[in-house]
Amino acid sequence: MRTNDPNARHSGRLMVRMPHELHDKLSTLAAEQAVSLNQLVVALLSSGAAWRADRDGGTARSRA
C-alpha cells in the first residue's frame, strides 16, 4: 500500500533487504535471547522509533 495518508492502515508486513553479515548477527542475537528473529527486529525498530521520536520532540516522522 503506497499512500501519504497518515491514517492509512498497513498490512504489518515489511520486506527488508540487508547485508548477509547483518542478517547473521541479528539471527545470532535472536538465538542468544531465545526470541524469534522477527521479535528481535520488531523490538529493535520499536526502540529506535521511540528514541527518534523523543529526540525529535515527539514526532516519529523521518526527515530523510
Domain locations in the chain as residue ranges: 28-55
Q: What's the whole-model pTM score? A: 0.67
45 band by pLDDT with thresholds 50, 70 and 90? very high
> Which ranges of the chain does DSSP label H, i.e. alpha helix?
20-32, 37-55
The pLDDT value recorded for residue 37 is 97
Place of cell 541479528: 26
Most confident of 2-11, 30-39, 44-53, 55-64: 30-39
CA torsion 18→21→24→28, rounded to 10°?
A: -120
Alpha-carbon span 49 to 42, nearest angstrom: 10
